[in-house]
Chain A
Amino acid sequence: MDFYITALIQGLCFAGIAFGIYLSMKIFNIPDITTDGSYTLGGVVTGSLMTHHQSGFVIVVLVIASGAVAGALTGIIHTKLKINALLAGILVMTALRSVNLIILGRSNLPLLGVSSLFSSVNLLANPNQNSFIISLLVVLVLTIIIGYLLKTDFGIAMRATGNSEIMIRALGVNTDRMKIIGLAVANALTALSGYLVAQQQGFADISMGIGIVITGLGSVIIGETVINLLKVTSVWLSLVFVLTGAIIFQLVLAFTLSIGVNANWLYGVTALFVLIIVGLPRLSRRAA
């Protein structure tokens, strides 16, 4: 049972990435590759500040700021230099590896001795359940903030940007600015995932972000599949489904491991799982 609670916590921790990818898909129609780098950035900033005994508040603010800067950079490269969004993300992600190494000073930093969000806040006696409640609360706050943002006039303009750029420009929106801000928000969310995961697993690692974009993408696709199936139009419900997608994704991976599949195959299983979710609706649509 503990095994699945851990997977549940993992899923909640990845909610930030899922929301981040959801936003970048709305703005660009493609997932933002910066994610790999900004997730690790969130983790290493957390780790290095924690070992320097900074207050939790300072850590959260700096994590959000660092992710936002990374995202804004991708946005600026894409809009001002007219470089393909995919390539812009890859460039920033690559550069971030150096940044992350310099911040961390080494490739792996254990955080077991220092007090973390999960060890300093005690709501329940069982540490696993305690972590679950804390991550649930954090994700709840995130969901409310993002949901509110998307419902505001600014949020509507943001959602429309990826949909019909020509229209939104004709309606007086500076789409370049919108993309830069949108990517900053998306990557700040992603960095928050890194912040949670580093504390939850008890270490920051330079390679923790490799391939993490697929986690966000998989979560969003699971969510969108349900959203399209049920013809959901509510912003809140959409976010809840994306969040559920993130949790389902981790539960499936946990299940795969629990039935004894070799851990080396985890990436293969991940890719296959995303392929199935993406492919199945298309296959059934063709048959219908």
Chain B
Amino acid sequence: MISVKQLQKTFNTGKPNEVIALSDINLEIGAGEYVVIVGSNGSGKSTLLNLIAGSILASKGTISIDSNDVTKLAEYDRSKWIARIFQNPLLGTAADLSIIDNFRLAALRTKSKGLTIGKTEQFKNTVRERIATLDMGLENKLEQPIGTLSGGQRQALTLLMSVMDDCQILLLDEPTAALDPRSADNVLRIADDLIKKFKLTAILVTHNLRDAAAYGTRIIQMHEGTVLKDISGTEKDTLKQNQLFEWFA
């Protein structure tokens, strides 16, 4: 599904503060894989995610999605495959817009936003039913600005929004870093359910080793811009949190 070849990213090239964020990454991620990426700060996890999403462009190497070379495509052009969840819950939603408006935009992620009114009663009912599955009591607050909700609620809604439209790849960049433990658990559980239900290919960047052990079908450890460990299959399934701690020892 995602194929990354000899990917390099250098920031501030040629300047004294030059940083090699990624050096020569090769990665094949199959359809339906749920990859968890761990690594210390500055190891290049977020850079890799941003490169795949297209919010930054590669210095060298290629990225292809579903056999399409997307290396030079802008973020908004890659959105037909990719939905994103950000670390900051405020970034994934438009705060002043109502819940329903946010969902309407999400439902058009892969389509053009035309000059017709798409917020029909039928659409509202669809959204209401989907939101009801969260069990947060938000289904009756569709007209409320999404900015009035808590970070956990917003992150949960952002997850639902990602599958409002045809979605193949879900990128989660430390989605729970700003949340309390209970909300964090909730959000990751929702993500896991959606990934299974919609057969998504997903990448989760996290610092939480308990989550890294609990979720995903494959785990990658990054270090100073390279892939240090890459474990999948039954070895990943049986991986314990304690073993992960030793990776960072």
Binding site for B on A (CB under 8 A): 148-149, 151-154, 156-157, 159-160, 163-164, 166-175, 233
15 additional contacts (CB under 8 A) given A159-B94, A172-B77:
A153-B108, A153-B115, A153-B116, A153-B118, A159-B97, A160-B94, A160-B105, A164-B91, A164-B95, A166-B86, A167-B86, A171-B79, A172-B80, A173-B105, A174-B76
Residue on A with the closest CB to B77? A172
Contact A156 B104 (CB under 8 A): yes
The reply on B159 being an interface residue by CB < 8 A is no
Contact B76 A169 (CB under 8 A): yes
Nearest-Cβ distance from residue B82 to partner chain A, whole angstroms: 8
B76 proximity list for chain A (CB < 8 A): 169-175
Contact B113 A156 (CB under 8 A): yes
Q: How far is the CA of A151 from the CA of B113 in the complex (A)?
A: 11
Contact A170 B93 (CB under 8 A): no
Contact B114 A152 (CB under 8 A): yes
Partner of A170, one of B83, B104, B116: B83
Contact B75 A163 (CB under 8 A): no
User: Given contacts A153-B114, A153-B117, A156-B101, is CB(A169)–CB(B145) below 8 Å?
Assistant: no
User: Given contacts A169-B76, A172-B79, is CB(A160)–CB(B117) below 8 Å?
Assistant: no
User: Given contacts A151-B117, A166-B86, A233-B145, is CB(A171)–CB(B53) below 8 Å?
Assistant: no
0/1 per residue, B143-157, Cβ < 8 Å to A?
Answer: 111000000000000
Contact B101 A173 (CB under 8 A): no
Residue on B with the closest CB to A173? B76
Contact B117 A171 (CB under 8 A): no
Report whether over half of chain A's contact residues are helix, strand or loop; otherwise say mixed: helix
Q: How far is the CA of A151 from the CA of B104 in the complex (A)?
A: 11
Nearest-Cβ distance from residue A167 to partner chain B, whole angstroms: 6
Q: How far is the CA of A204 from the CA of B243 in the complex (A)?
A: 79
User: Given contacts A153-B113, A154-B114, is CB(A167)–CB(B93) below 8 Å?
Assistant: yes
Q: Tell me the residues in window 14-66 of chain B with beta carbons closer than 8 Å to chain A beta carbons.
A: 53, 55
Contact A167 B94 (CB under 8 A): yes
The reply on B110 being an interface residue by CB < 8 A is yes
The reply on B109 being an interface residue by CB < 8 A is yes
Binding site for A on B (CB under 8 A): 53, 55, 74-77, 79-80, 82-84, 86, 90-98, 101-102, 104-106, 108-111, 113-119, 143-145
Contact A168 B55 (CB under 8 A): no
Residue on B with the closest CB to A164? B94
Q: How far is the CA of A166 from the CA of B115 in the complex (A)?
A: 22
Q: How far is the CA of A160 from the CA of B114 in the complex (A)?
A: 15
Contact A160 B101 (CB under 8 A): yes
Contact A166 B79 (CB under 8 A): no
Q: How far is the CA of A148 from the CA of B115 in the complex (A)?
A: 9
Supply 22 A–B pairs (Cβ within 8 Å), ascending by A: A152-B114, A152-B115, A152-B117, A153-B105, A153-B118, A156-B97, A156-B101, A157-B105, A160-B97, A160-B101, A163-B97, A164-B91, A167-B86, A169-B75, A170-B55, A170-B84, A170-B109, A172-B77, A172-B79, A172-B111, A174-B74, A233-B143
A148 proximity list for chain B (CB < 8 A): 117
Contact A167 B117 (CB under 8 A): no
A233 proximity list for chain B (CB < 8 A): 98, 143-145
Nearest-Cβ distance from residue A220 to partner chain B, whole angstroms: 14
Residue on A with the closest CB to B108? A153
Nearest-Cβ distance from residue B93 to partner chain A, whole angstroms: 6
Contact A164 B104 (CB under 8 A): no
Contact A164 B90 (CB under 8 A): yes
B93 proximity list for chain A (CB < 8 A): 164, 167
Q: How far is the CA of A164 from the CA of B92 in the complex (A)?
A: 8
Contact A171 B97 (CB under 8 A): no
Contact B109 A171 (CB under 8 A): yes
Nearest-Cβ distance from residue B55 to partner chain A, whole angstroms: 7
B92 proximity list for chain A (CB < 8 A): 164, 167, 170
Contact A171 B114 (CB under 8 A): no
User: Given contacts A152-B116, A153-B118, A159-B96, is CB(A170)–CB(B75) below 8 Å?
Assistant: yes
Q: How far is the CA of A159 from the CA of B101 in the complex (A)?
A: 10
Contact B117 A168 (CB under 8 A): no
A159 proximity list for chain B (CB < 8 A): 94, 96-97, 101
Q: Which of B53, B91, B110, B143 gathers the greatest number of chain A CB atoms within 10 Å?
A: B91
Contact A172 B110 (CB under 8 A): yes
Nearest-Cβ distance from residue A54 to partner chain B, whole angstroms: 29
Contact A168 B114 (CB under 8 A): no
Contact B109 A168 (CB under 8 A): no
B83 proximity list for chain A (CB < 8 A): 170
Nearest-Cβ distance from residue A207 to partner chain B, whole angstroms: 36
Partner of B95, one of A151, A152, A163, A169: A163
Enumerate the 4 nearest inter-chain pairs by beta-carbon distance, A residue then B residue, closest first.
A172-B79, A163-B94, A160-B94, A153-B113
